[in-house]
Amino acid sequence: MEQKRVSVIITAVIKNTENYINGFSIKGDSMGLTQVSTRLVSYFEIFMKLLRDTFGSLLLKKWISTEKENIERVDETMLPEILRIQAEGLDDKNQENLIKYSKKLKNIFYVIKNQDKIAGYCVYYLKPELSFKGLVKKSVIYSIAIDKKFQKMGCGRKLLEESIEEMRLNGISSVLLYVNVNNTPAIKLYEKIGFQIIIKIASVCGQEETCYTMELKLA
């Protein structure tokens, strides 16, 4: 049933793409090559995002969750506290995305507690990629933050280690993240866990920010 729905979506996207390209050849005289390629690139990006979201939600339906001491899955009642920790800890204060992910990505939105108080959170999204091996399942850390009161007590490390163990169990082949080059505490934490810097890039973390892409290979 799910597979049928996916194939219907993909067929619709491909058909739309064909119509789009045909449209260009008819209007070829009035549209510059740069405009055509820019619009094709953005259309391709939408297509890839649609594929990612569709396969991601299929993978999440079969997600195996494990019991972890002091780590829980997000629920609605935790959101005000999580949004406060995000606002105090991060420059990216995109609350809408965290609220959306707390519903759509509940299985991979982890919350760590300390004496029944929310100490921090870490949320991932899934990123299936096509490779010569077939479909490879990767995940990306979208956001992680520990409440200032609970920092430097091992919470960040425990949250990452335990959630990454669950990623491994679910066949995720590597975990990716983007971190500002000046965020030393976070970089040190990631390196301690085994992440490696792959590349330095601009404008992924935010405008006028330079980031490292870091990766932890699991398979």
Ligand X SMILES: CC(C)(COP(=O)(O)OP(=O)(O)OC[C@H]1O[C@@H](n2cnc3c(N)ncnc32)[C@H](O)[C@@H]1OP(=O)(O)O)[C@@H](O)C(=O)NCCC(=O)NCCS
Given the rule CB under 6 A, which residues bind ligand X? 89-90, 144-146, 151-157, 179, 183-186, 188-189, 192
User: Smallest gap, in angstroms, from Cβ of residue 33 to ligand X?
Assistant: 38
Using alpha carbons, list the distances in angstroms from residue 68 to 61, 113, 166.
20, 11, 10
> Is residue 109 exposed (0-12), middle (13-18) or buried (19+ Cβ within 10 Å)?
buried
- C-alpha span between 154 and 157 (Å, rounded): 5
Q: Which residue has the CB atom at the shortest distance from ligand X?
A: 156
User: Smallest gap, in angstroms, from Cβ of residue 93 to ligand X?
Assistant: 11
User: Smallest gap, in angstroms, from Cβ of residue 41 to ligand X?
Assistant: 27
- C-alpha span between 115 and 113 (Å, rounded): 6
- C-alpha span between 39 and 145 (Å, rounded): 36
59 or 177: CB nearest ligand X: 177
59 or 156: CB nearest ligand X: 156
The answer to whether residues 182 and 147 touch, using CB atoms and an 8 Å cutoff, is no
59 or 74: CB nearest ligand X: 74
User: Smallest gap, in angstroms, from Cβ of residue 36 to ligand X?
Assistant: 37
- C-alpha span between 123 and 144 (Å, rounded): 7
User: Smallest gap, in angstroms, from Cβ of residue 34 to ligand X?
Assistant: 35
Which tokens sit at 74?
């997000």
59 or 189: CB nearest ligand X: 189
Q: Three-state DSSP class for 165?
A: helix
59 or 213: CB nearest ligand X: 213
